[in-house]
């Protein structure tokens, strides 16, 4: 097999809420259009990754992952399958929570802090690591792994896995979030860094090796009523130490608005979701109501802002003209691709170093690009 293969993966929901994922393969991402008609379809909670020139797919209820080769004629060839049925993996073998160390080592977390070490190239389970210094509960709150929402692959293979604490209703969160650092060879826990922010779950890394952690599940509600900490972003140094001088809630940059979902992009800047509390017309000194709790997560009350970390400033990112929690950045072949879902479809943009966007494909569903080989 010669030449690159890319897959456009798109999750489409039916009117009844059923989820199907479609994979359309191509030799180039520079295609004027790409239909999902005839694309390979998977039902259930299908999710995916690409390792060693193959596409790996977890689909259905069983905790299994299957590898596929895609040849130059775009024909799929099913290869090995690995099963994790012997372990209490609750969300099949979802790549949402997995971390790729290198082509022969991947971590699949389970039971909070435990992790299966498996080989995504040879499709062998190498063992289970249960060592930890993490507290399983804190002040009545439960330990929760943040998952790998950004799909980050750390540059040096040294996985940094965020955790946080929350109650059973996901209402109250611990004010700090532990970040476990794992050795890329022994796969043991090297240390835990306590970060002074609630609900840290999204990781991104800059060119110098600094790693940024931002909340996703923890929103601005409690902070608005003075009942909880501000959502904030923490940064670890290339030596995996807390950069205490950096921690910021960005309120001084966003005209007093709370943020969520920050991701570093490139050249000293990033993007974040900013909550426009003024659109609610609510007196936050009065008791909280159920209506406000619902409105906090309505997309119309949020917008995307560009954050200049070097200057300590932020401004609306007008290039995205729709409210969107689901925007994503994909780095392929040295290019930055921004995907923006809205009303059942996704528009793909190419982003230049200054953040200017050139629109590309618009496809059905919540879609992204993957380089298979």
In the structure encoding, which two tokens stand for residue 106, read together? 């991947």
**Residue 237 in contact with residue 245, Cβ under 8 Å?**
no
From CA 266, how far away is CA 270, in angstroms rounded?
Answer: 7
How much is the pLDDT for 324? 67
How much is the pLDDT for 6? 96
How much is the pLDDT for 164? 97
pLDDT in tens, the chain (373 residues): 678 999 999 999 888 888 889 999 999 999 888 888 889 999 877 789 999 999 999 987 789 999 999 999 999 999 999 999 999 987 789 898 999 999 999 999 999 899 999 999 999 999 999 999 999 999 999 999 999 989 999 988 899 999 999 999 999 999 999 999 999 999 999 999 999 999 999 999 999 999 999 999 999 999 999 999 999 999 999 999 999 999 999 999 999 999 999 999 999 999 999 999 999 999 999 999 998 998 998 988 999 999 999 999 999 998 887 766 778 889 999 899 999 988 889 999 999 988 899 988 999 999 999 999 9
Please write the tens of the pLDDT for every residue from 16-56.
Answer: 888 889 999 999 999 888 888 889 999 877 789 999 999 99
Taking the CB of residue 193, how many other CB atoms lie within 10 A of it?
Answer: 19
What values do phi and psi take at 224, rounded to 5? -60, -35
Residue 271 buriedness (CB in 10 A; 0-12 / 13-18 / 19+): buried
How much is the pLDDT for 212? 98
In terms of Cα–Cα distance, which of 311, 310, 327 is closest to 319? 327
From CA 234, how far away is CA 38, in angstroms rounded?
Answer: 44
How much is the pLDDT for 189? 97
Residue 198 buriedness (CB in 10 A; 0-12 / 13-18 / 19+): buried
Percent of the chain's residues with pLDDT above 90: 79
Taking the CB of residue 176, how many other CB atoms lie within 10 A of it?
Answer: 16
Mean pLDDT in the chain?
Answer: 93
Helix runs in 238-329, H state only: 290-295
In terms of Cα–Cα distance, which of 346, 351, 210 is closest to 271? 351
Report the predicted TM-score, pTM, of the whole model to 2 decimal places.
Answer: 0.94
How much is the pLDDT for 344? 86
How much is the pLDDT for 343? 82
């Amino acid at each position: 097999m010669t030449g690159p293969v890319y897959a456009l993966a798109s999750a489409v929901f039916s009117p009844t809420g059923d989820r199907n994922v479609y994979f359309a393969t191509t030799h180039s991402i520079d295609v004027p259009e790409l239909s999902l008609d005839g694309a390979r379809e998977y039902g259930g909670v299908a999710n995916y990754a690409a390792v060693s020139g193959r596409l790996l797919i977890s689909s259905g209820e069983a905790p299994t992952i299957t590898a596929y080769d895609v040849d130059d004629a775009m024909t799929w060839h099913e290869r090995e399958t690995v099963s994790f049925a012997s372990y209490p993996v609750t969300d099949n073998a979802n790549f949402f929570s997995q971390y790729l160390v290198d082509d022969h080592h991947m971590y699949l977390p389970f039971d909070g802090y435990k992790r299966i070490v498996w080989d995504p190239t040879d499709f062998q389970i190498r063992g289970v690591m249960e060592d930890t210094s993490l507290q399983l509960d804190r002040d009545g709150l439960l330990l929760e792994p943040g998952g790998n929402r950004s799909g980050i692959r750390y540059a040096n293979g040294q996985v940094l896995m965020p955790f946080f604490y929350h109650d059973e209703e996901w209402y109250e969160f611990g004010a700090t979030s532990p970040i476990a650092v794992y050795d890329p060879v022994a796969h043991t826990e090297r240390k835990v860094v306590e970060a002074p922010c609630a609900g840290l779950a999204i990781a991104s890394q800059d060119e110098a090796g600094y790693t940024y952690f931002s909340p996703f599940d923890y929103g601005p509600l409690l902070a608005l009523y003075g009942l909880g900490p501000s959502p904030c972003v923490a940064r670890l140094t290339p030596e995996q130490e807390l950069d205490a001088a950096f921690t910021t809630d960005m309120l001084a940059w966003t005209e007093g608005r709370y943020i969520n979902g920050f991701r570093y992009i490139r050249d000293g800047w990033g993007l974040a979701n900013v909550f426009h509390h003024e659109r609610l017309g609510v007196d936050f000194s009065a008791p909280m109501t159920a209506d406000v709790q619902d409105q906090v997560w309505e997309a119309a009350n949020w917008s995307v802002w560009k954050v200049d970390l070097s200057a300590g400033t932020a401004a609306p990112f007008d290039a995205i003209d729709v409210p969107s929690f689901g925007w994503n950045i994909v780095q392929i072949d040295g290019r930055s691709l921004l995907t923006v879902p809205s009303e059942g479809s996704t528009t793909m943009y190419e982003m230049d170093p200054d953040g200017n966007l050139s629109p590309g494909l618009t496809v059905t569903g919540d879609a992204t690009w993957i380089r298979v080989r």
